[in-house]
Structure 1
Amino acid sequence: MASGLVYATGADSMLHALDPTTGTVRRSFPTGGPIETRPVVAGDFVYVGGSNGDISKLSG
């Protein structure tokens, strides 16, 4: 959880930011390919790893 949102990955190669109370998607971010890791929050950023070895860093 970061910035009051829960982050989850989808089979659609997107990182989704969800409202923790309602489950409503607030934002979605394309990662450029299949996601292989769970979202990791560090400071103000959310990181996910892709199947191609890339790491996406997004502002939380």
Structure 2
Amino acid sequence: MTINHGILSQPGEGDSYSVAGDVTTLKATSEQTDGKYALFEVIVAPQLGPPPHIHSREAEGSFC
């Protein structure tokens, strides 16, 4: 396995999209990580964001 330390986008870099009023920026895609994970930054307005939910095939983590 080859580790590419240059995968993650730097601050201010990465493709950004507006999703349900939030701004989502892709920092590392599954294609860049050989399908191991994807990492994205989401800017969520106060009192908004996703409702409680469950993933049945993947793990999800967050940092606030």
TM-score (norm 2): 0.32
Of structures 1 and 2, the larger Rg is shown by: 2
Quick check: which one's strand share is greater? 1
